[in-house]
């Protein structure tokens, strides 16, 4: 991934639109997972990743080591998401259910059962700590390895495993047998 990032960053700096798009597609999932982990809100997470990508791609020339692009991006996503949370607290935004419910009505193909599970997962996420959410989403949603998460969060590998264990246990307790026991 790092080698491919180097190539894509170099080509993106030359103005290659295809390279920019591939860079976005390669990292959007992880960026979204981190943003969702910090904000706990899918709509906020979507806004955060768009702002963070705009920031990163606008300052791509400052990325001295393109091999570390992923870490740089994730750090900016995390900071953008934290700012978003602070701003939301000040603004006292509408409750999550209202914002989310308004959006889901636009998708005619949604499966009701999946949507219900999605809503329950989103409702349960705030019960975890921020680091637990990030670890859980990066590992169980994005498929990151413990080592990769440890590097991104700058915490020991064992701590990642501990947070993952605690997060899964807590989520199972909240959600009952709805998830992961098939």
Partner 1 sequence: MIDELHPKPLDLSPLDPRLDRARWEGMVARIVRRAQAPRTPMAALVLWRRPALAAAALVAALSAGVMWWDGQSSAAANPANTVVEALEVPQPVSDWIMEGRPPHGTDVLVALDELP
Q: Which residues of the chain form contacts with partner 1 (CB under 8 A)?
A: 17, 20-21, 24-25, 28-29, 32, 36, 42, 46-47, 49-51, 53-54, 57-58, 87, 107, 110, 114-115, 117-118, 121-122, 136-137, 139-141, 161, 165, 168-169, 171-172, 179-182
CA distance 177 to 36: 23
CA distance 89 to 28: 26
Shortest Å distance, C-beta 127 to partner 1: 13
> For 90-123, b where at least 16 C-beta lie within 10 A, e where not — what string?
eeeeeebeeebeeeeeeeeeeeeeeeeeeebebe
Residue with Cβ nearer partner 1 (78 or 139): 139
Residue with Cβ nearer partner 1 (65 or 87): 87
Residue with Cβ nearer partner 1 (1 or 54): 54
Shortest Å distance, C-beta 178 to partner 1: 9
Residue with Cβ nearer partner 1 (136 or 153): 136
Residue 8 and residue 19 in contact, taking contact as beta carbons nearer than 8 Å: yes
> For 132-151, b where at least 16 C-beta lie within 10 A, e where not — what string?
bbbbbbbbbeeebebebbbb
Shortest Å distance, C-beta 169 to partner 1: 7
Shortest Å distance, C-beta 109 to partner 1: 9
Shortest Å distance, C-beta 99 to partner 1: 14
Residue 82 and residue 52 in contact, taking contact as beta carbons nearer than 8 Å: no
Q: Which two tokens stand for residue 58?
A: 């606008």
Place of tokens 């960053």: 9
């Amino acid at each position: 991934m790092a080698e491919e990032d180097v190539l894509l960053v170099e080509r993106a700096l030359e103005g290659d639109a295809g390279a920019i798009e591939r860079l976005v597609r390669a990292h959007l999932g992880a960026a979204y997972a981190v943003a969702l982990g910090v904000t706990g809100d899918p709509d906020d997470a979507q806004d955060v990743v768009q702002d963070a990508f705009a920031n990163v791609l606008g300052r791509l020339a400052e990325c001295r080591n393109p091999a570390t692009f992923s870490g740089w991006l994730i750090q900016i996503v995390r900071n953008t998401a934290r700012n978003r949370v602070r701003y939301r607290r000040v603004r006292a935004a509408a409750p999550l259910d209202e914002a989310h419910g308004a959006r889901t009505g636009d998708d005619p193909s949604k499966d009701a059962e999946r949507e219900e599970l999605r809503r329950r997962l989103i409702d349960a996420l705030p019960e975890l700590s921020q680091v637990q959410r990030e670890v859980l989403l990066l590992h169980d949603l994005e498929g990151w390895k413990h080592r990769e998460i440890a590097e991104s969060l700058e915490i020991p590998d064992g701590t990642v495993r501990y947070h993952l264990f605690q997060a899964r246990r807590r989520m199972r307790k909240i959600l009952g047998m709805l998830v992961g026991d098939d």
